[in-house]
Amino acid sequence: MSRQTLGGTSRKQPAQLPVLSGRPLASLYAGNVRAVFARGLKATWGSNWAITASGFVEPVLYLVAMGVGLGSLIGTVEGPGGERIGYANYIAPALLAVSAMNGAVYDSTWNVFFKLNYAKLYEGMLNTSLGPLDVALGEILLALLRGALYATGFTAVMGVMGLVTAPWALLMVPAAVLVAFGFASFGMGVTSFMKTFQQMDWISFVMLPMFLFSATFYPLSVYPEPVQWMVQALPLWHGVELLRQLSAGAVTAATGLHILYYLVMILLGLVLTTARLRRLFLS
């Protein structure tokens, strides 16, 4: 077709734009999370999968080294239900929580940081009819998907190593997705405050001790009481406990509290991220 007809053809078949008015939260949400999510999939497709895989491999290496290696010296430990279980069985669900966390954090911090400050991706998105909640949910779902993939892979590794015993353990996958959702939603909110690479290092500075000390490798009871309170305030501990209880089938009222912790974390994270995107790009 000839270039001159651009205006003419466009007028003949105008874009049929969806009507947005009257929706709840109309200025924040256009009901088009799908477009943001699909964009993320398209962009990730064909990008460097080696980097992606490293986040999954790390907890597997810990499981082999600590669970199988160190575990041969330790023998059995007391499980969540009070029974004696192998050390690998003890740390595997904790490392599953770590795996879900790593996947979610990878996308929702470094990737978001780059898109926010360098690629100006969200600025472009918010020049369209998308609202900040669409962008936040789409990006968080993408991070969540990575967390879910890591968690599913890790559960498969656990199965192969004979570490999945109770039928409850099948619930570990959706529980790990919940953990990933919590970290993804909060991680993106926190990242929106970061302006420099130095500040981004603070995230690693928080993540590593949290990984090591959230009752991942030994029970909470080794700490003095004030330290116990601190650890219990951190999200990873709740994920570790939730998955450990499910893996042993020791489901109690505490399980419900851990789930509640994540539901609140997801909600707060979404509110924070949406508010931040609004402040950064629509103020």
Partner 1 sequence: MSQAHRPDSAGRGDIVVSARNLTKKFGDFTAVDAISFQVRAGESFGLLGPNGAGKSTTMRMIGGVSRRTSGELAIMGLDPDRHGPEIRAHLGVVPQQDNLDQELRVRDNLIVYGRYFGLPHSYLRPKADELLEFAQLADKARAKVDALSGGMKRRLTIARSLVNDPRMLLLDEPTTGLDPQARHILWDRLFRLKESGVTLILTTHYMDEAEQLCDRLIVVDKGRIMAEGSPAALIREHSTREVLELRFGSERNAAVAAELGGIGERQEALPDRVLIYADDGEAALEQVSGRGLRPLTSLVRRSSLEDVFLRLTGRSLID
Q: Is 13 exposed, middle or buried (0-12, 13-18, 19+ CB in 10 A)?
A: exposed
Task: Report the residue from 66, 95, 105, 125 that binds partner 1 according to the rule CB under 8 A.
Answer: 125
Per CB under 8 A, the segment of 15-23, 67-75, 212-220, 248-256 that binds partner 1 is 15-23
Q: Name the minimum Å distance from CB 113 to partner 1.
A: 15
If binding is defined by CB under 8 A, does position 129 make contact with partner 1?
Answer: yes
* Residues binding partner 1: number (CB under 8 A): 46
Q: Name the minimum Å distance from CB 135 to partner 1.
A: 9
Residue 49 makes CB contacts below 8 A (sequence gap 6+) with none
Residues 192-231 that bind partner 1 (CB under 8 A): none
Q: What H or E segment, with its residue span, contains residue 44?
A: helix 33-44
Per-residue contact flags (x/-) with partner 1 for residues 39 to 58, judged by CB under 8 A: x--xx---x-----------
Taking the alpha carbons at both ends of the chain, their separation in whole angstroms is 42
Q: Which residues pair with 76 in a beta bridge?
A: 86
Q: Do 150 and 63 contact (CB within 8 A), yes or no?
A: no
Q: Name the minimum Å distance from CB 224 to partner 1.
A: 47
The dihedral region occupied by 50, where left means phi > 0, alpha psi between -120 and 50, and beta the remainder, is: alpha
| Chain contacts with partner 1 (rule: CB under 8 A) | 1, 3-4, 6-11, 13-22, 26-27, 30, 32, 34-36, 38-39, 42-43, 47, 119-121, 123-131, 281-283
